[in-house]
Structure 1
Amino acid sequence: MKIKTLRGSLIVGVLALLCSALFALPASADGYLNCQADRLCLYTGQDGSMSDGEMKPRNYEHEDPQSYANNFSDKTRSVYNNTAYWACLYGETSWGSAVAAVPPKTKIDISAQSPDAAFKEMAAQGVSSHKLAPSKGLCFTGYERCPDNRLCLFKEKGGRGAMTSFTTSADAYTPEWDRAVVSVRNRTSSHACFYSGTGQVGGWNSVTNGVHVAYAVLRGDSTSLVEPYLNDVQSHKLSSNTDCT
């Protein structure tokens, strides 16, 4: 008997990852004015100042903006986005948890007194990663991180949070990823079939006929999982057939 499948939703377009250049800047009488053109500048004090006398300038132009060094993570209190793009700030590494979007050419304090709920939440959590994006909406996705010819799994919706990737089928995931998949990007030439058990077996009861089914994300598709598949995937196989046979 053929295994029936459910398709993941198609996300139109391929998201382009834009490299971010970031500085943690020393204090000056001019505050925000020491932020160079085309730079995202983060400060440890309010209004473009530096409150930590031991904080040294950091240049993220050639470093990973998805994970700050320990002496800089969670210390941002004000921001000058002196670029033509939206600056996406995240409460955790790997573009995870809380999101706050700073418009182009905008200065803003990250404060518990902020009228913007996103920046109020960011003040409580701290900034741990960032990216630049051409629109505010793209701050809430991260699928563009998935390399070509890979099946990528993420721990948060929209391709955000921690990521792992595969080029082949997997009978079981490591403990860190067992029943931890929240969203998927399939950039392989095959269809990705997901199962509720290890060994590429097991499925979920169909609402209509009670038959166990695999969950398929077709090649080129991206999707955020919903119940009953959310946090209930233990293995996958790559198949040339859309019905996962």
Structure 2
Amino acid sequence: MIRSSLGRLAIAGLAAVLLAACLVWSQAGPAQAAYNDCPPKTFCLYTEAGGQGQMVPLAPKDGPVLDYGTVESLKDRTFLSFRNNTTSWTCLYDDPAYGGTDTQAVLPGHTGGDLAKGTDGQPKVTVASHKFAPSKSLCRTGFDRCEAGRICIFQGPSGRGAGGVASQTEVLPDGVLGNRDYGVTWDDKLVSVANRSHKVACFYRDPGYSGTWQAGSVAYRAFVVLPGEETTLPTDYQRSVSSHKLADAEGKC
């Protein structure tokens, strides 16, 4: 009787262990399956944490998306997690056109995770635009949007935010494209500049290449950006530019 009771206890214990193992396996199964639907060479965003919910694939070959509000599969959605199946850094931005205060750079090959959260427990980046970059440092700049031969102006630092890459441009006599008087769209909004032309870009406080900036007892007529330079304007010059022209030399500004 004693042997029989011990035998039954041993069998019962073994059954309990097997049941517990099955429960662990069944609970781990869905978690292990998370992020597995992300295709190769693709960055995937998910509408729920942990790689759950609806998945939207984004491929480097398709280029950046400057405004999620213009893409049917992306607009009106809040994304909470991601997987990076690419060999590039993926740069996520809080506002369209690489704008906003917060960004998140996701390293190549990241197997999946939730978006970084702020002190309120919500994602710090609501993801309104993205691009792919060869390094993490390039996630902080948007100057790469500026094409050769253009003077590009931006409403955010380091070439981020809304850009004047293709707005209010005219062809100057030598074929260079550049803005003149900014008008309502750009007046007092410029924060950073990229000069991809072979001319000197001269920026002015007032329309018609006029006005001055005052620094103590010294008045400065123009803020100059040389060919090939890209810069964020000093604080005193930011959001106070109304026109610019191109010149053959700095002394002609």
The interval holding the TM-score normalised by the smaller chain is: 0.7 to 0.9
Q: Hey, what's the Cα distance between the residues in 2 that align with 1:114 and 1:171?
A: 44
Matched, 1:147 2:147: yes
1:72 corresponds to which of 71, 74, 78: 74
Equivalent position amino acid for 1:150 in 2: R
Q: Distance in 2 between matches of 1:157 and 1:80?
A: 28
Structure 1 residue aligned with 2:115: 110
Deviation, structure 1 residue 169: 5.4
- Determine the C-alpha separation between the residues in 2 that align with 1:159 and 1:183: 6
Describe the shift of the 1:228–1:59 C-alpha distance in structure 2 as closer, same or farther (beyond 3 A).
Answer: closer
Any stretches of 5+ residues in structure 1 without a counterpart? 1-26
- Mapped to 1, the partners of 2:238 and 2:118 lie a distance apart of 35
Q: Secondary structure at the match of 1:65?
A: coil
Q: Which has the higher contact order (CA 8 A, sep 6+)?
A: 1
Asked if the contact 2:47/2:53 (under 8 Å) is kept, the reply is yes
Check the 8 A contact 1:168/1:237 in 2, yes or no: no
Q: Which structure has more helix as a fraction of its residues?
A: 2
Distance between the aligned counterparts of 1:37 and 1:182, measured in 2? 38
Task: Report the Cα distance in structure 2 between the residues aligned to 1:103 and 1:47, rounded to whole angstroms.
Answer: 17
Whichever residue aligns with residue 85 of structure 1, its letter is S
Query: Partner residue of 1:213?
Result: 221
In structure 2, what is the equivalent of residue 82 of structure 1?
85
Contact kept in structure 2, 1:114 and 1:120, CA below 8 Å? no
Structure 1's 147 and 85: CA in aligned 2 closer, same or farther, altered over 3 A? same
Alpha-carbon contact 2:90-2:132 (below 8 Å) kept: yes
Structure 2 residue 200 is the aligned partner of structure 1 residue 191: yes
CA contact (8 A) 1:28 1:34 kept: no
Q: Partners of 1:232 and 1:67 in 2: how far apart?
A: 26
**Percent identical across equivalent pairs?**
33
Write the mapping of 1:215-230 to structure 2, written as runs, cut at 5 A. 215-230=223-238
Decide whether aligned partners of structure 1 residues 232 and 63 sit closer, same or farther in structure 2, where only a CA change above 3 A counts: same
Higher CA-based Rg: 2
Q: Report Cα offsets for 1:78-104 as digits up to 9, x if no partner.
A: 000111221110111111112111112
Over 3 Å counting, the alpha-carbon distance change for 1:113 and 1:214 in structure 2 is closer
Instruction: Report what 1:232 is aligned to.
Output: 240
Report the CA distance between 1:211 and its aligned residue: 3.1
Is the contact made by 1:216 and 1:244 (CA closer than 8 Å) also made in structure 2? Answer: no
Find runs of 4+ consecutive structure 1 residues off by over 6 angstroms: none
Residue 45 (str. 1) matches residue 45 (str. 2): no
Inter-partner Cα distance in structure 2 for 1:78 and 1:114: 17
Matched-pair contact (CA < 8 Å) for 1:168–1:238: no
How far residue 206 of structure 1 moved from its aligned partner, in angstroms, is: 4.1
Distance 1:144 1:64, change over 3 A: closer
Go from structure 1 to structure 2 and tell me whether the alpha carbon gap of 1:114 and 1:133 turns closer, same or farther (over 3 Å shift). farther
After the TM superposition, which of the residue ranges 37-46 and 163-172 deviates more from structure 2? 163-172
CA apart distance, 1:33: 1.1
TM-score, normalisation: structure 2? 0.74
Instruction: Rate the CA distance shift 1:63–1:221 in 2: closer, same or farther, 3 A.
Output: closer
**CA pair 120-169 structure 1, distance change in 2 beyond 3 A:** closer
Aligned to 2:172: none
Distance 1:163 1:96 in 2: 10
Residue of structure 1 equivalent to 2:105: 101
Contact 2:43-2:58 at 8 Å conserved across structures? no
Asked if structure 2 preserves the Cα contact closer than 8 Å seen for 1:146 and 1:187, the reply is: yes
Distance in 2 separating the partners of 1:63 and 1:233: 31
Structure 2: gaps (5+ residues) = 1-29, 170-175
- Matching residue's letter, 1:79: F
Kindly state the Cα deviation for residue 35 of structure 1 after the two structures are TM-superposed: 1.2
CA distance in 2, matches of 1:114, 1:34: 31
Quote the offset at 1:28 in angstroms: 10
